[in-house]
Structure 1
C-alpha cells in the first residue's frame, strides 16, 4: 500500500528535504558550495561542493559522521531556526571566506571548519555553545557568539579571545534581536570588514522589553520559559552599533532611528539602513569605520510605510549604490539616484551584486517571479521565458538557476557557465505523486490572482462540489504562483472532495505598492472582501462545479485570522472555518509588523481588526488550532478568543498542541492535523 499524502507531507517536511539550497559560488565560477540532505525524508543536512567543469559532487561534511547525528541545540540556535522557519537539522547554515576555500558551521553547538581545498573538517574548541559562526573574508579568523559574547578565533593557531562581552544577561553582542529576525529578514548581528581586521557589531539590550512566559501545561513540573516579547505599542530592544577592531579598539556608530534594518561592509566601507518606529522613514548611511561618523546617502519616506527589501544596500565597482524603493507605483531597482527598472516590473529582492552586474528577482505578472540582471544601464531577462518562479546566484561567469513551473514536479537546479548549461545539481526531494488539477485565473472585480483546484478525477460539470477557501491573504506572503509546489496541500484537500480556491487579495505582494497599502489601518476588511470577491469570481467561471451553499475556509497564522474572521463577519458566505495559530488581537502581536499596518494601539485602528468584538456573532462551526509553545503568535490569541466565545455562549472547538511551535514540524502532529481538518470540514459542510 502506498504511503498517504499526509504522512509523506509530514515526513518530508513539506517536500523540502533533499532539495539543494544555500548556494555559494567561488569567485572563479569553478565551484559551487551548497546544502542538501541525502534523501527526501532525511532531515540531516550535509555540506556539499559541486565541480562546475566536471559536473561532479563532493560531500564535505556529514553531521552523522561528525557527531553521530544527535543534535543538542543551545536555546539561541533553536530560536534562530524558528525565526528562519528552518525545518531540517544538521548543517543548516554556513559561511565562507571571500575565496570560498574555508567554510565554518555549527553542529550541536560545536564549531567546525572545513578546508574546501582538501575536504578536511576539524572541530575547534570554543568557550561555549556556538551561534552563527562566520569566517573572515581573508580566511584567517572565524567569529561566533556564545553566552551573548562575540568571540574571535584564529584559524591558524586556534587561539580564542573575546571581542565583546555582555555587560548583563539582557545584553548580546553579534546577534540579531527578535524583531530584526522575525520581521526584517535580518538573521545576523555582525559583519566582517573585507580585510578581516575589524567587525561591525550589533549590541542588543532586551531589558526594556516586557517579560512573557510560555508555559507547558502538559508538563506542569517544568517551569515556564521566559521570553522577551515586544508587543504592539511596548518598548523594543535597544540596538546599538560598534566597530570593533581585532586590536581591541571600539568605536560607536550612532543612529537615532528605532530599527536597524540592515548593514553591509564592502570594499567601499560600511553602510547601514535604519528605520523610524512609525516606519514612514528609512535612511541609508555610509559609515566611517575609523570614527563611527555617518553620512546620509539616501532617505525614503512614505505616508503609509516604507518597505524592507532583501539584498540591499550594495555597491557597484565604481561605488554606485544599489537600492530598491517604491516609486511611481512600482517597486523599482535603483542604481545611484536613478531607477533602472520600469514601474510595471515589481522588484522582489536583490540576489547578488558582482562587479557591475546586479542579479535580482522581479514580477511583471503577479503569479510569476523571473530572474533579471542589470548591467551598463540595461536590464535583461536571465530566466527562461516559460512562466514560473525562478531564483539563482551568480559569480565568475557561473549561474546557479533554480526553476519551478506548473509543468514540472518539484524544483530543478541548473548550472550554467557563461550562458551555456553545463550540468545540474541533483535534488533528492520526494515526489508527492499528485495529479494536479489547477486553473490559474483572474477573479472578481479586482482581477485577483486566483487558483481553482479540482479533485484529480473530477469531470467539469459532473457535480457541484463543496468549496474550501485556502488563503494566507496577508502581507509579505503570496499563495498564487506559477509553481506546482505551491498547490500540493490544496490538491490533496481537493482530492478529499472539495473544490479548493486560493486567492491573493489586497495586502499581498506582486501587484505593486498601492495594492499592498490597501490594508493600511485595516487588516480585516480588504482581505476578507477580496476572499468573498474571488470566491464569487471563481463560481462565475465554474458555475456547474462550485456549490456556494457549502463553503469552508482554512488558514494558518494570518490565514488563521482570516479564516476565523470569515465565519464571524460573513456567515452568509462561509459556513465553517479552521483557524490555525490565528492572530485574534493585534495588541498581542509584535511591534514592527503590527505598527506598520495599524500604527500604535492608541491611534484607534486595532478594534476594527480584532476578532473579540465579533465573538457573539459566531453561528458557524469554528475549529481553533494552536501550538502551546508558539513564541511568535502566542497561544493567548486562541485562548482569549475562546474565552470570549464561551462568554457569548457560542459553541466552538479548540485543539491545543502541546510542545508545538508556530511551524508544527513534528511529523505525527503535521500528518494528523491535515486528517483532522478534513474530518472537521466534511462534518461541518455535510
Structure 2
C-alpha cells in the first residue's frame, strides 16, 4: 500500500504575536459564546464572477436597513462599482433569500419563503426580475423547486408537485412538460431522497444550449418501501402528532426505477431514451452541442460506471467510457466538455484521483496529472491558454494548493504559496482568482491573484477582527502530527490545555468521524466544534483526532481497505491510537473517551462496546447502529447487499456487541425527526441494551433532524455532552 510521507512540524510552537500567545489571554470560552455566533468568520457570500471577467458579485445583508443586496466589485481595483440589485429597490419584493443570474446577466431568479425539504432540496416562491426593464414576474402561485433559466434567458423550467413546467417569459405562458407526477409514486425533474442524500443530486432536468429541449429523469418509487416518521409538534399548538411518510430504500430493498427522457419544446413531445442495464443515473449534462448530451450510469454495486453520449435528434445512446473497480467507483462532478466535444474526466484508476482528457469517442488522449497525491477540486479549462486549473494534495494530504497545467500534462504551475488550505474562485476569463486561505492559526483570508502565475494583486478580507477578539481568550494551538498505527502513517491533531505541563497527566477525549473518503484532520482554522474543544482544554482535557484507514486523500488503497467490513479497520486504528496516546507520560491511559456523530457515532458506540478496557466513556450522536437500517446507495457502495454480505453487516454492528459492554459510560443521543439516520437505529439499540441489562444515558430531541439544531437545541446538546464528559472522564 502506498502512503504519503508527510512532514508536519508547523503549528506546535507559540508564535510571538499570534492570538495563541498565552500572555495576552485572559478569558475562557463558554458554551454560550460558541453557540451565540461570537466567533463567526467574515465570508464572501455567494462570490461569483460576471461574464466579462472584470467584475465579481457578492451577496450582502445590511442589518441596519434590513436589506439584502448583491454588489459588484472590480477585480482590477477592488472597488465597489455598483449594486446589481437589492431587495429595497424591487417593488413588490421586501426580501429575497436566494438568487441566480441568467447566462446573459440581464435577469435574475429570486427566491422567497424558501424552506428545506431534505438536506439539499428546498421549495419556495420564486420571481424573475428583469435588471433592465425592472419588471418583476412571479413564476407560479405555489411553492416550486429548482427554477432554472434556459441558456437564452427567455424561459424558466421548474418542478411543482413532482411535474416539470416551464414558463415562457416573453409570452407569460406556462407549459406543463410532464403530467404523471404523484407524491410517493412518480417524480419528474427532481431526484428522490436517496439520490439527494448520497449523490448530492437534486435538480434532474437540464436545458440544452439552444433552449429548445429538456433532458430529464423520471423516478418510479412505486415499489420502494415507505418510511414513516412521527412529528410531535409544540406544546399548546399541536394536540395530535402528525406523520411524515416518504420513500426510503434501505440496504437490500427496492430502489426507485429511474429512466431518461427528452422533451422537445417545438413539438411538445416526450421521448424515452433506452440504455443498457443500470441501477442508477447519478449525473446528466449537455455538451456544447445543442443536440448532444451525456448521462452517467451505475450498476447496483457501484463498481462500474458508464458514460453515454445521447443524440437528441435520433435518440441514440452511444457508450463512450466504462470504468470499473474491485470496490467502487465514485461519481464525478468534474466532467467538462470542450468545444470539440472531447472531455475532461477525473478518476482514481491509477490509485490516486487524477485528471484525464478523452476524445469524444472515449479514446484516451492523455492523463493530465499523475503522482502519489490527489486532485481534490477541478476548477475549469481556459480555452485561450489551454490550461486546466485544479486543487490538490501535492503538498501533503492535510493541505490544499491551487495549480494550473496545460491539457497535455506539461508546464504545471503552483499558484498558491502559503502552506495550509487554499481554495480558488476564478474570473470567467481566467485572468484572476480569489484565493481563500486558512491554516490552524489563520481564519479565512481572501486575496486576489493573477491566474497566469499566482502573483498577489491585493488582499480583500482577512478576518483580523476575529483574531483581535481571540487575543482576549485563553486558547491553545491545534497541533498537527502523524501516528504510526498498524503499518500506516495516520494524520492527527491535538489540542492541549493552555497551561499544559508535561509533568502532569490529563484525561483525553478523542473525536473521529472515520467514514469512507472523509477527512477530519486538515490544516484549517477552528470550526465550531474546535471552540468546544478549546473550552474542554481550558478545563483540563486534552482533545485529539485521528484519521484512520478508510478516510480520504491518501490514495485508493488506503480509502477502500474497509470494503465489505465497515467499522472493522477503522475501529482497530482508533483503539491502537488510543493506546499510543495513553502510553504518553502526560496522558492518563485510564481516562480516555471517544465521541462522534453519525458514522462517528457508529464508531464511538463500537469503541465503548468492544474496547471498554481502552475507552472509559463514549458519546454517540445520531449513530448508525446497524447498516441494515441505512439506505441502499451509501451502504451497498461499501458493503454490497445484506443478502450477499450478512457477516459484514452483523459482525461490526454495535447491536451485535451489546453483551460486551460490561464497563464504561455511554451517552446515546438522537433526533426523532432524523430522515437520514432514522431514530429506529437508536431505539433498537436501546431495546438491546435494556434486554441485556446494560446501564447507559440517552436523550431524544423531539422533531430534530440529523443535525439536531434549532432554537436552543445545540446549546442544550453541548451542555449535556460537556456535563457527561466532566462527570465520567
Query: So what's the TM-score if we normalise by structure 2?
Result: 0.84
Q: 2:525 aligns with which of 484, 500, 505?
A: 484
Whether the 8 Å CA contact 2:549–2:569 is kept in 1: the answer is yes
Q: Secondary structure at the match of 1:215?
A: strand
What's the counterpart of residue 264 of structure 1? Answer: 285
What's the counterpart of residue 293 of structure 1? Answer: 316
Cα gap change, 1:5 to 1:422, in 2 (>3 Å): farther
Q: 1:97 aligns with which of 84, 92, 102?
A: 102
**Are 1:392 and 2:450 counterparts?**
no
Distance in 2, Cα, partners of 1:631 & 1:452: 33
Distance in 1, Cα, partners of 2:284 & 2:483: 41
Q: 2:211 aligns with which of 186, 192, 196?
A: 196
Q: Secondary structure at the match of 1:164?
A: coil
What's the counterpart of residue 76 of structure 1? Answer: none
What's the counterpart of residue 680 of structure 1? Answer: 724
The 5-angstrom pairing of residues 151-550 of structure 1 reads 151-169=165-183, 170-217=185-232, 221-247=240-266, 248-255=268-275, 256-268=277-289, 269-309=292-332, 311-336=333-358, 337=364, 338-355=366-383, 356-364=386-394, 365-377=396-408, 378=410, 380-394=412-426, 395-396=428-429, 397-412=431-446, 414=448, 416=450, 419=454, 421-423=456-458, 426=461, 431=466, 433=470, 435-445=475-485, 446-455=488-497, 457-486=498-527, 487-539=530-582, 543-550=584-591
Aligned Cα root-mean-square deviation (Å): 2.9
Q: 1:50 aligns with which of 73, 86, 105?
A: 73
Over residues 154-200 of structure 1, what are the superposed CA-to-partner deviations in whole Å (9 max), with x where a residue is unaligned? Answer: 23343222222334332222112222221112232111111122121
Q: Secondary structure at the match of 1:323?
A: strand
Distance in 2, Cα, partners of 1:12 & 1:123: 36
Distance in 1, Cα, partners of 2:192 & 2:71: 30
Distance in 2, Cα, partners of 1:400 & 1:4: 33
Distance in 2, Cα, partners of 1:44 & 1:677: 38
Whether the 8 Å CA contact 2:128–2:139 is kept in 1: the answer is no
Q: Secondary structure at the match of 1:531?
A: helix
Cα gap change, 1:374 to 1:21, in 2 (>3 Å): farther
Over residues 469-522 of structure 1, what are the superposed CA-to-partner deviations in whole Å (9 max), with x where a residue is unaligned? Answer: 011111132110001135444333323321111111111111011011111111
Whether the 8 Å CA contact 2:447–2:457 is kept in 1: the answer is no
Distance in 1, Cα, partners of 2:692 & 2:93: 51
Of 345-354 and 437-446, deviating more is 345-354
**Are 1:609 and 2:652 counterparts?**
yes
Over residues 271-306 of structure 1, what are the superposed CA-to-partner deviations in whole Å (9 max), with x where a residue is unaligned? Answer: 111111011100111111112211111100011111
Q: Secondary structure at the match of 2:552?
A: coil
What's the counterpart of residue 10 of structure 1? Answer: 35
Whether the 8 Å CA contact 1:616–1:649 is kept in 2: the answer is no
Cα gap change, 1:560 to 1:424, in 2 (>3 Å): same
**Are 1:661 and 2:705 counterparts?**
yes
Q: 1:147 aligns with which of 158, 161, 177?
A: 161
Distance in 2, Cα, partners of 1:463 & 1:507: 34
Distance in 1, Cα, partners of 2:66 & 2:658: 41
Q: Secondary structure at the match of 2:561?
A: helix
Cα gap change, 1:304 to 1:291, in 2 (>3 Å): same
Whether the 8 Å CA contact 2:422–2:435 is kept in 1: the answer is yes
Over residues 212-234 of structure 1, what are the superposed CA-to-partner deviations in whole Å (9 max), with x where a residue is unaligned? Answer: 11112466603211121111111
Cα gap change, 1:429 to 1:650, in 2 (>3 Å): farther
Q: 1:106 aligns with which of 99, 107, 111?
A: 111
Shift of 1:370: 2.0
Over residues 611-638 of structure 1, what are the superposed CA-to-partner deviations in whole Å (9 max), with x where a residue is unaligned? Answer: 1111122221111110111100011111
What's the counterpart of residue 83 of structure 1? Answer: none
Shift of 1:438: 1.2
Distance in 1, Cα, partners of 2:227 & 2:464: 39
Whether the 8 Å CA contact 1:359–1:372 is kept in 2: the answer is yes
Distance in 2, Cα, partners of 1:66 & 1:13: 33
Cα gap change, 1:557 to 1:447, in 2 (>3 Å): same
Cα gap change, 1:381 to 1:462, in 2 (>3 Å): farther
What's the counterpart of residue 595 of structure 1? Answer: 636
Cα gap change, 1:184 to 1:556, in 2 (>3 Å): same
What's the counterpart of residue 22 of structure 2? Answer: none
Of 214-223 and 612-621, deviating more is 214-223
Cα gap change, 1:667 to 1:565, in 2 (>3 Å): same
Whether the 8 Å CA contact 1:569–1:617 is kept in 2: the answer is yes
Over residues 231-274 of structure 1, what are the superposed CA-to-partner deviations in whole Å (9 max), with x where a residue is unaligned? Answer: 11111112112121222122222233111121211313311111
Cα gap change, 1:214 to 1:221, in 2 (>3 Å): same
Cα gap change, 1:123 to 1:680, in 2 (>3 Å): farther
Whether the 8 Å CA contact 1:372–1:379 is kept in 2: the answer is no
Q: 2:49 aligns with which of 16, 25, 28?
A: 25
Distance in 2, Cα, partners of 1:38 & 1:536: 52
Distance in 1, Cα, partners of 2:142 & 2:220: 21
Q: Secondary structure at the match of 1:484?
A: coil
